[in-house]
A and B are shown apart, each in its own frame.
Chain A
């Protein structure tokens, strides 16, 4: 073997690092350390057991010399290799072979109330490491998961800074709204459901603090969380210190965000032409300023006014370290993200500290505290300003010459100045959260530990709203209002865990965990309002008129008491069994229905550890898994099981009362049973790793607020809320694949790929409500529309509306021949006849689904499914010398989305601004110019073949733009989510600078989206995280494209 110069350098390097210990020993031992390929290993540490000073390292040839006692033991350690202990036994020459560690085989995974080696897992668990976090620009932990974990579908509900995502682990488990998983952050359970697009329950967590995320997917893994596990559990572990020299790391970046796409709204000239056409059709009065549209300029581009490039900056500093007995980690982080839409933004400051210490030989203790303070500006979303900006017409100026805001010249049927609203209206929240836990862990006997732990989470949320007086052209507001609200939340969990680990007869390995926990959540709310402020300057309530004061206060609390246990048994590291059992009692349910059992069991067979597999060296790892479990959901409002009276204000008679809810004393747990078959396969020393799972889940006793007709008195103002009930069952089945490959691994170049694929199908199996369907509605103006319907035998929440089957092109389209050759009139909407103010040439033909000859509400049908046929993520990482490049793509295929606002933005008769498509309406001409204004004398002479005519009567206009598949679009997309290029300074340089590592990088987030979608962004999510309103784009805040430049520094 040639001794290279490089090896000599490395040897010298190690010599420098490790002090040369004084030697005065009995005998000299020589030897060589090699790996299993007989390559000499340089710099291997050889230390006499029991001594901290007597040791050496191997030289460039792998040789070592050490003087030790004749009966000494040598501890041999080398990074990336298994530690070995060698008995000297008087030998003077000892050659040692070290075995390379497999990273994945020794990886520890966080499971419920404990850790397990990945190889011992019997359930479906996916992990996302901090590397993935570092490689992307995420402001919230939920965004990390997108495309990175099989079986996990992540969609951001809004591009607004600080907004929430909709996360579905293995499909839709519940129709009650929330399908968000729970997050267990260092023992603190955080519900992912905020019920809002803008509020993210994970916003208090700084992604940089995260070490790993482990996603428990199947019930055999989540059943240990019993009542909280129904939608999956995501375990988040934050970074802890390691013993050794302290490390200081800094990671910071600055980013520029921009709109990825603009919609093609009309400019002033185009708008003037269209308005003139509308006045010619007697829809509006003629506009005198539009007499010569050709002389007009572009007018105001309201998208440019509201949206702009925006900055974001992030700084994170952490210090970790520790001694043998104690380790610590401190961290501070700062994030400031301006929104691309004026009137939005997010700022967060986080502080974190944890200490773990071995108090006594048998007692360990630790404390972990995290503080966060965030501020989120919400004006743009709370005031629907994106919709307003799209609607505002180009003839209205954004500002006057003096810089003040302008507005429309009349007050009738106009929209406000979105820029003025965004800048003048105060609307933000400030949230402060303290999360932490403290534990004591005693080792009672060898292998038997007892841990008691208190975790808590306090939240203080303040919201600030101030509406000033303003004048936007003719729009005048003189009422100055201010509202302040405070809410305070308190959560604690007290937990006792006993853990027993033993191995007997060498092949029987047992781990038993028993635990008990009690949890309590409480929430309080106080709100105050005043108007009549003297000026726009001071915003606090005291400056308002006291006689206008309004206030509100409310509170709730709920508790959960639980007992649980897990038994893990492994025979000869070949046959594995995990069983868990949990018994939960919830205050949310009535006595007698409170307690429920949640069992699970899973088996795994490590085929690769069988002796016969030794013949097949290519198979490095092969494990088959089989699991079943039961989890629950008790996500109902507080006190749903009993009847309550709520207060109503009266003018002069004190507090009035109304029934608040309809009780269901029989309300019971929603339970999901799931089965999982999985395979883990590692080939060629794990250069190819494949994990595949097939699952079937069935949720019974679905919790739902019963969909009742209004005559039951359960809808609208002053109603009694409908009871919650256990209404039915749904199933989800799916396949998920994760493939990691090391395509090239050379000294200077490596290429690794990951591929993640998820496929899920859901179906409603049973609905017990008498009415048999669940509708979800959207109200826009005074129109209330059913947009999705859920029914037995169908997937959940499919879009439900009319089907456009064509357009009346000519007179004969008003008639058709039926099967018997009889000429029949084409079905027209109820109450409408052939005529200009009814149905005319250029109007849509709707499908007469029930074939009763008339188009009415009975003709609505399922028009599309928002659930993707599959979703996927593709990652490629290239490393060349000190450079690394990551390209990460995510995609969704086969899902439909509804571009809801096109119903107004494509309607040429709309009085607000519209899309360019609206100008392409079907132009009608007379066949015989001298002939009558009769439908038989009309043909379509121009326009887009898919657009209807411009109808003067509101009935015709409303009919054409009714909620139909005309506004349904293909939501498939492939997005270049992330391209990250990094350069690490060579060690030679960094050494001189006395730093361990310095990396600079550039990152392009949301670089490009391949999609046919006409709106801003095909990734839409669910409105307010409501699963029944998934995939409906109602002027969603677009996700920005982000260019960032950053720096990682460790010393």
Chain B
């Protein structure tokens, strides 16, 4: 008995000694855990499809916080295309009372920098980690990312002026307190990105909606045109002819060489089935039935009532067209008006199909005001399941061919008071003809301004037109804003047959700020200034390291 026990004891002793050793020997592998739901960098960027997957993420999620509210809140709210006295994501912009804490402003700033940061990661990861791919494939993917980055910088330059230029986020993470660069450098940075994109992006793509070189030339026409007005004097009244020429060249390249054309019907542009139509040069690609973050939420903020969306996400009753924009429409311009703003009695066959269409008969305090139509696509069954709660799945236009046409006309007009240039008129009138309104024989800046406002209303554009104009005719812009009587809450009767807007009731409870030179720029978000006091200091010139591309228009 005792002997047996001793044997067992020895066995146990053996176990004691060996067990920890055994475990120890495999300890290091025990502590090496590989993720199963994510990829590590070293096993990726090894084929063209890897590269394409790495840029695919730049078309939706990173822009979400921009698209959700700021796209229209700033782009149309600030430029008085809309009026939403109770929506704090719109009225601070239209009232010029936004602060460094205004939610959508903070989110949009972050969104632009997420576009930039993720684009930088793509560019740097491809440069560092890619294997088994050709130089052309690498450049095409990098060009896609640089287009995104350049576009984000154009927004930053337009809205905040001086901005922080980042090329490598892994460096910035460790040293985040850096200086801003002056607006001109931010523009230059954006232009270089877009020029690279124009050079290396392909002319055609197999995946519809991907960027092409025409996207880049189109975007360049916008940026050159905008930049041409910048000088030390915001009231110089003249634009830089060199950049006007570049804008015209870029626009012309797209118009003449791309083979693309306008959609025949303006209203069809805003239907899900026409996502990535030939007129669309750059659009954010939202995912039907996608997870929150890759979704287009705008319909939920615009839809006037639950009956349109079929769910409780329809918060647009008090998000209306301003009286000011309704008065902008020419009498004959009803196609565009109806596709953009709903007027009393309008019938939309594409909404509430199950009930034979939707007729807009909403009154605001018994007045016939107009709610938003553009971006409103209807409920799930109207769209074959593609539109769901807080997700219309409609692409967000960032650049349309129509804009490139108008950019061309504006660049040709240049510093002249009017132009009758045949090509300029050709493209300008293509936009008007499509809208079913008479062509013009001579165009002035005012014609172009009007056309842009109406054509792109509720596409987040008009404020940037004002900003670009204010680079060289600031007082004109400030006067225009300050005479719009934004401090009145207007309730109006809009008559859709005559396209006339009659102000019926106004109260003076809106506390608005005057437009000033200072207010043409947005404040940096407070969280940023708190963390980086250098934002409040003078910008420091940016040192460009790569050579400028010069052979784009040869």
Give residues in A with beta carbon < 8 Å to B: 281-283, 285, 362, 410-413, 416, 442, 444-445, 450, 452, 474-479, 481, 494, 496, 498, 516, 518, 520, 531-532, 545, 547-550, 552-559, 561, 563, 585-587, 591, 594, 638-639, 642-660, 662, 706-720, 722-723, 770-771, 773, 775, 779, 781-786, 830-831, 837-838, 857, 911, 952-956
Contact size range, B: 35 or more
* A558 & B113 in contact (Cβ 8 Å cutoff): no
Q: A450-B15, A713-B120, A719-B114 are in contact. List 8 more A-B contacts (CB 8 A).
A: A411-B317, A442-B8, A442-B9, A452-B19, A556-B35, A559-B31, A710-B110, A831-B97
CA distance A561 to B9 in the complex (A): 27
Q: With A658-B62, A831-B97, A953-B509 in contact, do A709 and B176 touch (Cβ < 8 Å)?
A: yes
* B392, CB-defined interface residue at 8 Å: no
CA distance A241 to B57 in the complex (A): 60
The 6 closest A-B pairs by CB, nearest first: A713-B117, A656-B56, A953-B511, A837-B511, A782-B103, A718-B62
Q: Which residues in A have their C-beta under 8 angstroms from that of B294?
A: 648-650
Q: Which residues 18-77 of B sit at the A interface, judged by CB distance below 8 A?
A: 19-20, 23-24, 27-28, 30-33, 35-41, 44, 52-65, 69
Among residues of A, the one whose C-beta sits closest to the C-beta of B68 is: A717
A422 to chain B, nearest CB (A): 15
Neighbour of B52 across the interface among A653, A660, A782, CB < 8 A = A653
* A658 & B110 in contact (Cβ 8 Å cutoff): no
18 A–B contacts, CB within 8 A, in A order: A282-B509, A362-B9, A474-B306, A475-B306, A476-B306, A531-B388, A644-B39, A652-B207, A652-B208, A656-B60, A706-B173, A709-B531, A713-B117, A713-B120, A718-B114, A720-B118, A771-B530, A782-B69
Neighbour of B287 across the interface among A412, A553, A650, A783, CB < 8 A = A650
Q: Which residues in A have their C-beta under 8 angstroms from that of B243?
A: none
* B550, CB-defined interface residue at 8 Å: no
B99 to chain A, nearest CB (A): 7
Q: With A496-B20, A561-B27 in contact, do A479 and B389 touch (Cβ < 8 Å)?
A: yes
Among residues of B, the one whose C-beta sits closest to the C-beta of A716 is: B110
* A547 & B511 in contact (Cβ 8 Å cutoff): no
Q: With A585-B27, A770-B177, A955-B511 in contact, do A553 and B37 touch (Cβ < 8 Å)?
A: yes
Neighbour of B380 across the interface among A479, A653, A655, CB < 8 A = A479
Q: Which residues in B have their C-beta under 8 angstroms from that of A557?
A: 33
* B232, CB-defined interface residue at 8 Å: no
A634 to chain B, nearest CB (A): 11
* B164, CB-defined interface residue at 8 Å: yes
* B189, CB-defined interface residue at 8 Å: no
* B379, CB-defined interface residue at 8 Å: yes
Residue interface bits B63-104, CB-to-A below 8 A is 1, else 0:
111000100000000000000001011010001010111111
* B37 & A554 in contact (Cβ 8 Å cutoff): yes
B296 to chain A, nearest CB (A): 10
Residue interface bits B105-123, CB-to-A below 8 A is 1, else 0:
0110111011111101100
CA distance A837 to B314 in the complex (A): 30
Q: With A479-B388, A563-B20, A657-B57 in contact, do A710 and B287 touch (Cβ < 8 Å)?
A: no
* A837 & B509 in contact (Cβ 8 Å cutoff): yes
B26 to chain A, nearest CB (A): 9
Give residues in B with beta carbon < 8 Å to A: 5, 8-9, 12-13, 15-16, 19-20, 23-24, 27-28, 30-33, 35-41, 44, 52-65, 69, 86, 88-89, 91, 95, 97, 99-104, 106-107, 109-111, 113-118, 120-121, 125, 164, 166, 169-170, 172-173, 175-177, 207-210, 275, 285-291, 293-294, 305-307, 310-312, 314, 317-318, 365, 379-380, 385, 388-389, 393, 507-511, 513, 525-532
* B389 & A654 in contact (Cβ 8 Å cutoff): no
Q: With A644-B40, A710-B527, A712-B169 in contact, do A650 and B19 touch (Cβ < 8 Å)?
A: no
B334 to chain A, nearest CB (A): 27
Neighbour of B318 across the interface among A413, A481, A545, A719, CB < 8 A = A413
* A645 & B9 in contact (Cβ 8 Å cutoff): no
A289 to chain B, nearest CB (A): 15
CA distance A658 to B59 in the complex (A): 11
* B531 & A531 in contact (Cβ 8 Å cutoff): no
A806 to chain B, nearest CB (A): 22
CA distance A785 to B526 in the complex (A): 10
* A561 & B23 in contact (Cβ 8 Å cutoff): yes
Neighbour of B293 across the interface among A411, A442, A715, A717, CB < 8 A = A717
Q: With A411-B305, A554-B37, A648-B60 in contact, do A548 and B380 touch (Cβ < 8 Å)?
A: yes
Among residues of A, the one whose C-beta sits closest to the C-beta of B173 is: A662
* B13 & A720 in contact (Cβ 8 Å cutoff): no
B157 to chain A, nearest CB (A): 14
Q: Which residues in A have their C-beta under 8 angstroms from that of B287?
A: 649-651
CA distance A971 to B477 in the complex (A): 53
CA distance A478 to B313 in the complex (A): 11
CA distance A606 to B5 in the complex (A): 40
CA distance A592 to B312 in the complex (A): 53
B492 to chain A, nearest CB (A): 15
Among residues of A, the one whose C-beta sits closest to the C-beta of B164 is: A711
Neighbour of B33 across the interface among A478, A559, A645, CB < 8 A = A559
* B175 & A720 in contact (Cβ 8 Å cutoff): no
Q: Which residues in B have their C-beta under 8 angstroms from that of A662?
A: 169-170, 173
Q: Which residues in B have their C-beta under 8 angstroms from that of A660?
A: 38
B535 to chain A, nearest CB (A): 9
Neighbour of B56 across the interface among A282, A411, A657, A710, CB < 8 A = A657
A910 to chain B, nearest CB (A): 11
A525 to chain B, nearest CB (A): 9
Q: With A444-B9, A556-B35, A650-B287 in contact, do A545 and B385 touch (Cβ < 8 Å)?
A: yes
* A654 & B509 in contact (Cβ 8 Å cutoff): no
Q: Which residues in B have their C-beta under 8 angstroms from that of A652?
A: 207-209, 285
Q: Which residues in B have their C-beta under 8 angstroms from that of A709?
A: 176, 527-528, 531-532
A532 to chain B, nearest CB (A): 7
* A548 & B317 in contact (Cβ 8 Å cutoff): no
* A713 & B118 in contact (Cβ 8 Å cutoff): yes
A449 to chain B, nearest CB (A): 10
Q: With A710-B109, A857-B101 in contact, do A650 and B59 touch (Cβ < 8 Å)?
A: yes
* A784 & B118 in contact (Cβ 8 Å cutoff): no
CA distance A481 to B110 in the complex (A): 32
* A477 & B388 in contact (Cβ 8 Å cutoff): no
CA distance A308 to B113 in the complex (A): 49
Q: Which residues in A have their C-beta under 8 angstroms from that of B20?
A: 496, 516, 563
CA distance A742 to B109 in the complex (A): 65
Neighbour of A770 across the interface among B19, B176, B509, B510, CB < 8 A = B176
Among residues of B, the one whose C-beta sits closest to the C-beta of A445 is: B9
* A831 & B513 in contact (Cβ 8 Å cutoff): yes
Q: Which residues in A have their C-beta under 8 angstroms from that of B58?
A: 656, 658
B202 to chain A, nearest CB (A): 15
* B510 & A654 in contact (Cβ 8 Å cutoff): no
CA distance A783 to B317 in the complex (A): 21
CA distance A651 to B113 in the complex (A): 23
Q: With A645-B38, A718-B62 in contact, do A442 and B12 touch (Cβ < 8 Å)?
A: yes
CA distance A651 to B61 in the complex (A): 12
CA distance A585 to B23 in the complex (A): 13
Q: Which residues in B have their C-beta under 8 angstroms from that of A830?
A: 99
* A412 & B31 in contact (Cβ 8 Å cutoff): no
* B57 & A713 in contact (Cβ 8 Å cutoff): no
A403 to chain B, nearest CB (A): 21
Q: Which residues in A have their C-beta under 8 angstroms from that of B88?
A: 781-783, 954
* B173 & A723 in contact (Cβ 8 Å cutoff): yes
CA distance A843 to B286 in the complex (A): 45
Which of A550, A554, A708 has the most CB atoms of chain B within a 10 A radius of its CB? A708
CA distance A273 to B19 in the complex (A): 79
Q: Which residues in A have their C-beta under 8 angstroms from that of B24?
A: 516
Which of A563, A645, A723 has the most CB atoms of chain B within a 10 A radius of its CB? A645
CA distance A710 to B210 in the complex (A): 27
* B56 & A648 in contact (Cβ 8 Å cutoff): yes
CA distance A308 to B367 in the complex (A): 43
* B33 & A558 in contact (Cβ 8 Å cutoff): yes
Q: With A479-B310, A479-B389 in contact, do A716 and B107 touch (Cβ < 8 Å)?
A: yes
